[in-house]
Amino acid sequence: MVKWYYQFAAGFGRLNVFGGSYAAGENDLSGRLEGKLALITAAGQGIGRAAALAMAREGARVIASDVNATLLKALSATPGIETRTLDVLDDAAVKRTLDELPPLSVLFNCAGFVHNGSILECSPKDWEFSFNLNVRAMYMTIQCALPKMLDAYAKTGAAASIVNMASVAGSIKGLPNRFVYGASKAAVIGLTKAVAADFVARGIRCNAIAPGTVDTPSLHERINALPDPVEARKAFIARQPMGRIAKPEEIAPIVVFLASDESAFATGNVYSVDGGMTI
């Protein structure tokens, strides 16, 4: 009887609810983004890269873009991923990219920069750069992507999801030496809610994610730029009550969830993934 049960369960386990099949032991959730076209900015490393790989694993056709063509090379052989050099600070290039692509089902605005310092260390140039990369670039990608998204929804009922990269630093929590970073990431949340409110009845969802500290190449740069990197790393770890820093692969699943139809009722919200920083 027990043996029969296990044989039945093992056979059943190879069939998924969408009619596809897979070997026992593989990810039971694969196919959650089947049929979706996703554009990701800053996909060359860190969270953007992890999200590109996770979305492709879930069946999306992913356009992984980044200003750094060399970083993108490591992704170019991955099934489901096409790479594209894109500087999100270049309005003409953003417009050209969105003009060339079919309507997106998912836009993940991940590009951003962490300036280190209080208001006293923030020059007008620092302010301008951070707001341009962290906020204005999203305004431009969304403005260029939306008309085709709206048109696709009106004609076929295909809804679209925009996911914006915010941070715990900003309107959720004030952190030391994150003056312009926090100000710009707070603006991302305002931008996200505004877009969500304007297009909620026209098939567009817009949400933001707010990670705590994540182990990415730029975090290493930030740590190594400080006078005592060993102490700095300890301080970054201590910010999370879980006593550790996240891996990019721990942030990617929330992006996949917001990109997928599983989150169809969620819009205008901010999803923190922060190791308990905001308990």
Q: Which is nearer to ligand NAD, 47 or 144 (CB)?
A: 47
By DSSP bridging, strand 81-85 and strand 61-66 are parallel
Q: Rounded to the nearest whole angstrom, what is the least distance from the CB of residue 261 to ligand NAD in the complex?
A: 24
Q: Which is nearer to ligand NAD, 42 or 104 (CB)?
A: 42
Angle, CA 83 vertex, CA 81 and CA 88 arms, to 5°: 125
Q: Rounded to the nearest whole angstrom, what is the least distance from the CB of residue 103 to ligand NAD in the complex?
A: 22
14: CB partners within 8 A, 6+ apart: 21, 22, 23, 24
Phi, psi (5° rounding) for residue 215? -75, 90
Q: Which is nearer to ligand NAD, 103 or 112 (CB)?
A: 112
Q: Which is nearer to ligand NAD, 67 or 206 (CB)?
A: 67
Q: Rounded to the nearest whole angstrom, what is the least distance from the CB of residue 46 to ligand NAD in the complex?
A: 2
Q: Rounded to the nearest whole angstrom, what is the least distance from the CB of residue 86 to ligand NAD in the complex?
A: 6
Q: Which amino acid is at 184?
A: S
Q: Rounded to the nearest whole angstrom, what is the least distance from the CB of residue 209 to ligand NAD in the complex?
A: 8
d(CA 75, CA 70): 10
Residues binding ligand NAD (CB under 6 A): 41-42, 44-48, 66-68, 71, 86-89, 110-112, 114, 133, 165, 167, 211, 213-214, 216-219, 248
Q: Which is nearer to ligand NAD, 133 or 152 (CB)?
A: 133
Contact assessment for residue 198 and residue 242, using Cβ atoms and an 8 Å cutoff: no
d(CA 200, CA 54): 26
Q: Name 109's bridge partners.
A: 164
139 is catalytic: no
Q: Rounded to the nearest whole angstrom, what is the least distance from the CB of residue 166 to ligand NAD in the complex?
A: 7
d(CA 123, CA 102): 40
d(CA 57, CA 62): 10
Q: Which is nearer to ligand NAD, 152 or 277 (CB)?
A: 277
Q: Which residue of this chain has its Cβ atom nearest to ligand NAD in the complex?
A: 112
CA neighbor of 183 nearest in space, from 244, 132, 252, 241 = 132
Q: What is the CA radius of gyration of the chain?
A: 20
Query: Which is the catalytic residue, given 5, 6, 181, 271?
Result: 181
Stretch (H or E) spanning 270:
strand 270-273
Contact assessment for residue 141 and residue 98, using Cβ atoms and an 8 Å cutoff: yes
- Active-site residue list: 181
